[in-house]
Amino acid sequence: MSKWTTANLPDQTGRTIVVTGANSGLGAATARALSTAGARVILACRDTAKAERVAAGLPGATEVRELDLANLNSVRAFADSIERVDVLINNAGVMALPLRRTADGFEMQFGTNHLGHFALTNLLLDRITDRVVTVSSVAHRTGRIDLADPNWEQRRYDRWLAYGQSKLANLMFAFELQRRLAGEGAAVISVAAHPGYAATDLMSHTESIQDAIMWVGNRTLAPTAEAGALPTLFAATAAVAPGAFYGPDGFLGLRGYPARAGSARSARDRRVAAELWELSEKLCGLI
C-alpha cells in the first residue's frame, strides 16, 4: 500500500463505530476522522466531560457513553447499553503508571489495557457486525506474559515491564480472537494496530521525571496523534487481512504510513495465547 491517509478513508455513512478512550489523543483523532467520513461514533470514555467536549467538535452523529475499563461493572453496563455496532476499536490505555489496582483488584495496566478490553469485546461480540480492532504497541516486544502472576502480586513491580506485558496481551488477544472467530466460521474479523511513536497524553501520567522527558519528546520528535491514528483507521475501515497487525512503515515502525507490521515471536505463541484467554475469562468472570 502507498501512503494511505484519511483522504483514502472509505465512506462510513450508516456505520456505527465504538472508540474506547476517544476523549483525547489517538482516540479523539480516530473519532474525528471516522465522524468526518460519515460514521456514527460512540465515544466510550471514563471522563465523559472531556468526551463531550470532543464530541461537540465532531461533524457527524456522535454519542458519549461512560466506560471505565478499570471497573468490570462499568464494562458490563456499557456493553448492555449497546444494541448493534459495526466496528469496535479497543483504543484506550494507560502507560507506565506507579503500582495501582483496578476496582476488581487487577494491576492497573493489565486490568485496563487488556482485561477491560477483553471483557468488553466478549460481551459485545454477538452485536458486532464487521470487525474488532485492538490497539497494541511496539512496546509489546518488551513484554512477557506471566500467567502465574499477571497482576504483579508476587514479584517486584516494574512499570515498563507491566506496560509491555499489557500490550503483548493486547496483541495476543487480537490474534487469538481471530483464530476463534475463524474456527467458528464467523464473518466478524479481528485486526490489530499500533501507532508507532505519537504525541499523546498517554505519556504524561508516569508521575515521575519521565513525564518531563516524554513531554519534550512529544513536542520535538513525535508525529501528531492524527498521524499515529492512521494505522488504527486503516485497520478499522480498509480491506485488511483477518488477524493482521498494522503499524507505521517508517524506521523501526515509529512513524510513517499504515503497512503490515511485524511482531515479536512471543505474540504468535498459540499455547500461551490460549492459556491467557482462559485466564482472562476466569478473571473477568466470563465463565
Look-up of cell digits 492512521: 230
The 10s digit of each residue's pLDDT in 27-64 is: 999 999 999 999 999 999 999 999 999 999 999 999 99
The predicted pLDDT at position 213 comes to: 44
The 10s digit of each residue's pLDDT in 203-226 is: 444 555 445 444 444 444 568 999
Catalytic site residue 163?
A: yes
- Cβ distance 132 to 35 under 8 Å? no
β partners of residue 245: 192
What percent of the chain is modeled with pLDDT above 70?
A: 91
| 156 sits in which H/E element | none
The predicted pLDDT at position 211 comes to: 53
User: Residue 166's closest CA among 197, 141, 132, 143?
Assistant: 143
Question: Which residue in the list 157, 163, 246, 257 is annotated as catalytic?
Answer: 163
- Cβ distance 258 to 248 under 8 Å? yes
Q: What is the mean pLDDT of the chain?
A: 93
Strands 85-90 and 16-20: parallel
- Cβ distance 6 to 233 under 8 Å? yes
Instruction: Return the ∠ at Cα 64 (arms to 190 and 132), rounded to 5°.
Output: 0
pLDDT at residue 267 greater than cutoff 60: yes
pLDDT at residue 126 greater than cutoff 90: yes
> How many domains are there within the chain?
1
Q: Is residue 1 a part of any domain in this protein? A: no
Q: Is residue 275 a part of any domain in this protein? A: yes
Q: Is residue 241 a part of any domain in this protein? A: yes
Task: Find the mean pLDDT for residues 82-90.
Answer: 98
The predicted pLDDT at position 202 comes to: 58
Q: Is residue 5 a part of any domain in this protein? A: no
What's the CA gap between 287 and 183, in Å, rounded?
20
Q: Is residue 197 a part of any domain in this protein? A: yes
In one-letter notation, the amino acid at residue 172 is: M
pLDDT at residue 89 greater than cutoff 60: yes
Look-up of cell digits 478473571: 283
The predicted pLDDT at position 220 comes to: 46
The predicted pLDDT at position 175 comes to: 98
- Residue 51: C-alpha distances to residues 55, 116, 268 (Å): 6, 19, 35
Q: Where are the beta strands (DSSP E) in the chain?
A: 16-20, 40-45, 62-66, 85-90, 128-135, 189-193, 245-248, 258-260
- State the residue range of the domain holding 103: 10-283
The predicted pLDDT at position 36 comes to: 98
- Cβ distance 46 to 72 under 8 Å? no
The predicted pLDDT at position 193 comes to: 98
The predicted pLDDT at position 207 comes to: 55
CATH number for the domain including 226? Answer: 3.40.50.720
pTM passes above 0.85: yes
